[in-house]
Amino acid sequence: MQTPTLRDVADAAGVHPATASRALNPATRGLVNADTARRVIKVAESLGYRPNPIARGLKTAKSGTVGLVIPDLTNPLFPPIVRGIEDVLEPAGYSGLIVNTDNDPGRERAQIEQLRSRQVEGLIIATALLDHPLLAQLRREGVLMVMVNRRPDGIDVPSITPDDATGVELAVRHLADLGHRRIAHLAGPLQTSTGLVRARAFRSAIRDRGLDDDPDLVEVCTYWSEEAGAVGLRTLLDRGTEFTAVVAGNDLIALGCYDVFAERGIDCPSEISVVGFNDMPFLDKLRPPLTTIAIPHQQIGAEAARLLLDAIADPARPARSVLLPLSLVVRGSTAPPR
Amino acid sequence: MQTPTLRDVADAAGVHPATASRALNPATRGLVNADTARRVIKVAESLGYRPNPIARGLKTAKSGTVGLVIPDLTNPLFPPIVRGIEDVLEPAGYSGLIVNTDNDPGRERAQIEQLRSRQVEGLIIATALLDHPLLAQLRREGVLMVMVNRRPDGIDVPSITPDDATGVELAVRHLADLGHRRIAHLAGPLQTSTGLVRARAFRSAIRDRGLDDDPDLVEVCTYWSEEAGAVGLRTLLDRGTEFTAVVAGNDLIALGCYDVFAERGIDCPSEISVVGFNDMPFLDKLRPPLTTIAIPHQQIGAEAARLLLDAIADPARPARSVLLPLSLVVRGSTAPPR
DNA sequence: CCTGTTGCTGCAATCGACTGCACAATCCGC
DNA sequence: GCGGATTGTGCAGTCGATTGCAGCAACAGG
């Protein structure tokens, strides 16, 4: 015995399938006699009827799914975001289809094509790479989208981004409060919007507080990686510029600093303080535990999902964008300068 | 202009939709004149035709989706598994629908119900909790399933599990080779199959190598957590039994040991060596970097997906189960005893 | 020249739910 | 007691692709 269909319910309740359909759908229930509706609903329950979303989707052109485009689920940044998204999607009767692009533009195109052919109702895009032409094209074709972690410039797409500027400000203020005057910045790649925003915010935070604003104190890393962070710090150190603290572009870069500290016998935090960015898991297990800026990843995901659901409900609504506040997590890698 | 439908392709190629359908489907292509087929395929390409999986699913009763039931995506254990699954699913034209159960049986039931109503063709289950009644019921109802990380006893369901026993054996051998004779074990909860299997494997590995087999050297932790690990190690220490090395049930438990070392001023590895289990990310950043047993999570996922696809292709095939080999990753937390 | 194959294509029904329209029943006021 | 409004329900077509069956043409064999 298979899952019962609408027909079965209708037969059992002694009504026409059309009537059963209307009775079961809250939006059209008003068209049906209240008694009949009740009866149909009861029968449906007793039979364990579950509407077949595939059949429904065919007629209504809605699939109840949205696509999540991320670079790599394995990157600890994304699971909390995805979790936040799912937590909002699920109660709304939607599910997410995840694709990993590995930051490969070709793959990205293909995957998005896949998602579209699966009739997703919208896209949540968390990849930085996405080239504008594709984005603009999707926009033109009326594909609903929400961007995560990245502000699309020039294109009118809703986005959720952490308030990086304030985050950096928080880090700088913390170090300044501890008494640091010469603070260095290991920036992430400036091609990424995050890298750029944080680097700019760093300069202005330094100026605002009247600290030493020396271009030599900023070094740009080629990737958001540990190795790149290590290379960056070495360059900074070898340059001979004095500094007592480092604001790293993200936690991985900060981790690279740890490697250099070990390598050169530098003590953290007594000789150099470090602040990371992201609050990845297990940072508290490091020696010393890393002080960092926490990003509410799960909230970001949840907010993104909400925005997308809004857009699905009313595609005409203008693109809204959200900036989520960050917080400083003080641990052991920061201390007053000697 | 919308996505072209099969009709559009057929019209453009001057054939009947039925013929177009057959030409496009590799399985039925043989029924169509080779020239016609070629022409249809060409037209389809030039129009950018993509079959609508929803419509197809309605007729064929296949959705091209499978359900992934996991406790919590945020747990670093799962992203690589999911990634491995997706990597196999995608080229096969399938997608995975992820649900998080948070180890709540009620949620688990509801979520699985959700997945079934979405017409998933099979389930990959990675939760430990899943109570047998539900499992057995699903089995009876003909739902295709594959279990990950857990061997279903008594029920005939394919499963993919890491070869825990050999893993433990590897850890013990490594310590024995370093010269340790009195090795302790901080076991995970024995209600979990993993906890039990590892604990048993520990005893037998110890015996096999003729090391000191003292019941006092084994302590069972109440959870797979850092806190529980710390509690476990304290109990072990306070008991006064001598030992120079610890095999932890998993990495989190090992992390708990680190906390106790800091607390009591014990030096690792010179006073006590520790081996973890799982090889979570960033373990190499700890002080000292944790020696551990690496589990091929991604492969586990990939293998699970393959098994499920096999089952979908031929549901009659008997349940096959796979045991995946583990490997020892030697880092800084193990050294010869003093 | 007729019958019987073989090979290809078209017709139409089907999957399950939704929905515009028509029709029936009921009720109201005059 | 009749016309007209108001519910409530049924009919049938639709979404897009698949598939059993029928039909048609070409061709071989007798």
Residues of B in contact with A64 (CB under 8 A): 118
Both tokens of residue A256?
């690279």
Angle at B120 between CA B115 and CA B124, to 5 degrees: 80
CB A192 within 8 A of CB A162: no
Instruction: Give the C-alpha separation, A32 to A19, whole Å.
Output: 7
Q: Does B47 touch chain A (CB under 8 A)?
A: no
Q: Based on the domain organization, do B291 and B302 belong to the same domain?
A: no
Q: Which of B123, B126, B128, B150 is nearest to B139 (CA)?
A: B123
Which residue's CA lies closest to nucleotide D17 at its C1' atom? B56
CA distance A121 to chain B (A): 13
pLDDT at B11: 87
Instruction: Give the C-alpha separation, A230 to B189, whole Å.
Output: 40
How many CA atoms within 13 Å lie on the side-chain side of B325? Answer: 3
Q: Based on the domain organization, do B32 and B118 belong to the same domain?
A: no
| Inside any domain, residue A338 | no
If one counts every other C-beta atom within 10 angstroms of the C-beta of residue B18, the result is 12
* Positions of chain A with pLDDT lower than 50, given as ranges: 1
Phi/psi of residue A335, nearest 5 degrees:
-160, 165
Q: What is the DSSP string of B67-90?
A: EEEES-TTSTTHHHHHHHHHHHHG
Would the pLDDT of B187 be above 80?
Answer: yes
* B18 vs B132, residue with greater confidence: B18
User: What is the domain count for chain A?
Assistant: 3
If one counts every other C-beta atom within 10 angstroms of the C-beta of residue A52, the result is 19
* A176 vs B28, residue with greater confidence: A176
Q: What is the DSSP string of B249-267?
A: SSHHHHHHHHHHHHHHT--
Residues of A in contact with B90 (CB under 8 A): 99, 114
Would the pLDDT of B2 be above 70?
Answer: no
End-to-end C-alpha distance for chain B, whole angstroms: 77
Q: For chain A, what is the radius of gyration of the CA atoms?
A: 26
Q: In what order do the strands lie in the sheet with A183-187?
A: A218-220, A183-187, A245-248, A273-278, A291-294, A327-329
User: Who among residues 148-187 of B has its Cβ near strand C, under 7 Å?
Assistant: none
| Inside any domain, residue A1 | no
| Inside any domain, residue A336 | no
Both tokens of residue B21?
């359908």
Contact residues for A258 (Cβ-Cβ < 8 A; gap 6+): A268, A274, A286, B285
Place of tokens 């603290």: A245
Query: CATH number, domain at B18?
Result: 1.10.260
User: Who among residues 10-29 of B has its Cβ near strand D, under 7 Å?
Assistant: 17-18, 21-22, 24-25, 28
Q: How confident is the model at residue B69 (pLDDT cuts 50, 70, 90)?
A: very high
End-to-end C-alpha distance for chain A, whole angstroms: 77
* Residue B33 CB lies within 7 Å of the nucleic strand D: no
User: Which of A323-332, B21-30, B61-70 shows the highest mean pLDDT?
Assistant: A323-332
Q: B17-24 and B34-47 helices cross at what angle (nearest 10)?
A: 90
| Inside any domain, residue B334 | no
Nucleotide nearest to B34 (CA to C1'): C8
| Inside any domain, residue A73 | yes
Q: Based on the domain organization, do B182 and B270 belong to the same domain?
A: yes
Q: Based on the domain organization, do A139 and A193 belong to the same domain?
A: no
Tens-digit pLDDT profile for residues B93-152: 899 999 999 988 889 988 998 898 888 999 999 987 666 788 888 888 888 999 998 877
Q: Based on the domain organization, do A31 and A109 belong to the same domain?
A: no
Q: Based on the domain organization, do A126 and A245 belong to the same domain?
A: no
Q: Based on the domain organization, do A305 and A286 belong to the same domain?
A: no
Instruction: Give the C-alpha separation, B135 to B152, whole Å.
Output: 9
| Inside any domain, residue B107 | yes
pLDDT at A117: 85
Full residue range of the structural domain in which residue A109 is found: 63-161+298-324
- Strand pairing report for A183-187 and B327-329: unpaired
Tens-digit pLDDT profile for residues B205-244: 999 999 999 999 999 999 999 999 999 999 999 999 999 9
Cβ distance A83 to B76 less than 8 Å, yes or no, reads: no
Tens-digit pLDDT profile for residues B74-89: 988 899 999 999 999 9
Q: B193-208 and B164-178 helices cross at what angle (nearest 10)?
A: 40
Local structure of B4: helix, strand or coil:
coil
Q: Based on the domain organization, do B103 and B192 belong to the same domain?
A: no
Q: Based on the domain organization, do B130 and B217 belong to the same domain?
A: no
Q: Which of B127, B79, B92, B75 is nearest to B298 (CA)?
A: B79
| Inside any domain, residue B1 | no
CB B122 within 8 A of CB B142: no
Q: Which of B298, B295, B285 is nearest to B331 (CA)?
A: B285
Residues of A in contact with B286 (CB under 8 A): 285-287
CB B98 within 8 A of CB B124: no
Q: Based on the domain organization, do A111 and A183 belong to the same domain?
A: no
* Residue A33 CB lies within 7 Å of the nucleic strand C: no
Q: Which of B37, B40, B108 is nearest to B72 (CA)?
A: B108
Place of tokens 């997703």: A120
* Residue A33 CB lies within 7 Å of the nucleic strand D: yes
Q: Based on the domain organization, do B314 and B278 belong to the same domain?
A: no
pLDDT at A129: 66
pLDDT at B129: 66
Q: Which of A292, A302, A299 is nearest to A325 (CA)?
A: A299
pLDDT at A2: 64
* Residue A80 CB lies within 7 Å of the nucleic strand C: no
| Inside any domain, residue A335 | no
In chain B, residues 60-89 whose CB comes closer than 8 Å to chain A: 63-64, 72-74, 76, 78-80, 82-83, 86-87
Q: Based on the domain organization, do B36 and B77 belong to the same domain?
A: no
Please name the member of B52, B58, B281 whose beta carbon is closest to the beta carbon of A55: B58
Query: CATH number, domain at A94?
Result: 3.40.50.2300
